[in-house]
Amino acid sequence: MSRAQPDASAARPGRALGLLLAGLLLAACAGTRTSGPGDAPPDAAAPDPVDPGTVVVQVSSVGGYTSAEELHGRLPPVTVYADGRVISPGPVALVYPAFAWPGLTVTQLDPGRLPDLVDRALAAGVGEDHDLGPTGVTDAPSTRFTVLTDGGTVVREVDALQEGLGSPMLSEQQRADRQRLAALAEELAGLADPAQPWSPSAVAVLAHPYTEGLLGPGGAPLDLPEVAWTGPDLPGEPLGAGLGCVVAPVEEVRAAASGASTATPWTTPDGARWSLTFRPLLPHESGCADLTG
């Protein structure tokens, strides 16, 4: 099944988005331009400035059969912002246990490309709401497409987008429609190349009581050194399923987290042991509530 949430007027999204981005560029230029004879007064009508951290296009994963920390701690594969930044997860080392600190990358696009990007996303079916059929895949996450148009933000969720492409339960039209969206997701992922490392200013820390007796490769018990937690009090704001969340400045926790793994036991002064998942906050996010969607 799929879910689309388009606003009423989604016609000519590229044109309207172009005007929004023009406002962003004008606002940026205004910071360096000096006034001269004949210039309009500062309060003259002009396009409203656009926050550079406005999401224009995003692909994210939601739901699926997995742990609570995975549900809330996922990073969107691609987020494109109004100033042309494309932020994506960085390469993941094939080690177990995995490194605790997730890397992020940024690529800079010309903001003038964004209206065309929006048009292509809508042409691929993001703004449509017809049935994409059942796949019989029940444990895979859904892919959520978010696109900014002149009528507002359009959201479409597709269950088991990649995993369900070969399902015999789909009609030819449903399979073709899914393939258009799958191709869009692949195209958007390709925007993150070439990329440079990107560092957030804050990180959400997801905490739950440590699971004792974890096993490593070959079934041997993991024997990992404890790390003292010096950040905000745990477990923090409840997110459900025994999971808590606190927000910390990156400079307070990155040094310790960079030397830890996803299986590291973190200790607090009261003797409690915790498992922690570090979820960097993206430019449009401000706290734990942003991770519950």
CATH number of the domain to which 72 belongs: 3.30.1560
Tell me the pLDDT of the chain averaged across its residues. 86
pLDDT at residue 29 is higher than 50: no
pLDDT digits 0-9 by tens, 95-150: 889 999 999 999 999 999 999 999 999 999 999 999 999 999 989 999 999 999 99
Quickly state the pLDDT bin for 26 (edges 50, 70, 90).
Answer: very low
pLDDT value of position 17:
63
**Average pLDDT, integer, range 46-57:** 78
Same-domain check for residues 22 and 61: yes
User: Is residue 36 situated within a structural domain?
Assistant: no
Q: Confidence band (pLDDT; 50, 70, 90) for 219?
A: confident
Q: Report yes or no on 38 lying in a domain.
A: no
- Residue 172: pLDDT band (50, 70, 90) is very high
**Residue length of the chain:** 293
Taken in order 228, 214, 60, 88, the sign of the CA dihedral is: positive
The pLDDT value given to residue 18: 57
Domain final position from 192, 218, 248: 192
Q: Range of 242's domain?
A: 200-291
- Same domain (yes/no): 95, 208: no
- The verdict on residue 34 lying in a domain is no
Residue 1: is its pLDDT beyond 60? Answer: no
Residue at which a domain ends, from 192, 223, 246? 192
The pLDDT score that the predictor gives to residue 215 is 79
Q: Do 138 and 208 have their domain in common?
A: no
Confidence of residue 49 (pLDDT cuts 50, 70, 90): low
Question: pLDDT tens digits, residue range 11-20?
Answer: 444 444 655 5
C-beta separation of 218 from 263 below 8 A: no
Asked whether the predicted pLDDT for residue 44 surpasses 80, the reply is no
Pair 221, 124 in one domain? no
pTM of the model: 0.84
* Structure confidence at residue 48 (pLDDT): 56
Point out the domain boundary residue: 130, 159, 192: 192
Return all residues near 36 (Cβ < 8 A) that are at least 6 apart: none
